[in-house]
Amino acid sequence: MTGILYLCATPIGNLQDMTFRVLETLRTADLIAAEDTRNSIKLLNHFDIHTPMTSYHEYNKVEKAGQLVRLMAEGKHVALVTDAGTPAISDPGEVLVRMCQENNIPVTSLPGPCACITALTLSGLSARRFCFEGFLPVDKRERRMVLEELQGESRTMVLYEAPHHLRGTLEELSRNLGDRRITLCRELTKKFETVMPTTLSGALEHFKTQEPRGEYVLVLEGKSFQEQRREEILSWEAMSIEDHMAYYERQGMDSKTAMKQVARDRGVGKRDIYSYLNK
Determine the Cα–Cα distance for residues 94 and 100; give it in Å rounded to an integer.
10
Task: Answer whether 136's CB lies under 8 Å from 147's CB.
Answer: yes
Instruction: Tell me phi and psi for residue 78, to 5 degrees.
Output: -120, 130
Determine the Cα–Cα distance for residues 169 and 182; give it in Å rounded to an integer.
13
Determine the Cα–Cα distance for residues 260 and 9; give it in Å rounded to an integer.
53
Determine the Cα–Cα distance for residues 214 and 163; give it in Å rounded to an integer.
6
Question: What local confidence, expressed as pLDDT, does residue 163 receive?
Answer: 96
Question: What local confidence, expressed as pLDDT, does residue 232 receive?
Answer: 60
Burial bucket for residue 278 (CB in 10 Å: 0-12, 13-18, 19+): exposed
C-alpha distances (whole Å) from 262 to each of 46, 201, 227 are 66, 37, 19
Question: What local confidence, expressed as pLDDT, does residue 249 receive?
Answer: 84
As a whole number of Å, the CA-based R_g of the chain is 25
Question: What local confidence, expressed as pLDDT, does residue 229 receive?
Answer: 61
Residues sharing a CB contact under 8 Å with residue 166, sequence separation 6 or more, in sequence order: 207, 212, 216
Nearest to 202 by CA among 224, 177, 180: 180
Residues sharing a CB contact under 8 Å with residue 48, sequence separation 6 or more, in sequence order: none
Whole-prediction pTM value?
0.79
Determine the Cα–Cα distance for residues 110 and 226; give it in Å rounded to an integer.
40
User: Would you write out the chain's pLDDT as a tens digit for each of its 279 residues?
Assistant: 899 999 999 999 999 999 999 999 999 999 999 999 999 999 999 999 999 999 999 999 999 999 999 999 999 999 999 999 999 998 899 999 999 999 999 999 999 999 999 999 999 999 999 999 999 999 999 999 999 999 889 999 999 999 999 999 999 999 999 999 999 999 999 999 999 999 999 999 999 999 999 999 999 999 876 666 666 666 777 778 888 888 888 888 898 888 888 888 888 888 888 888 887
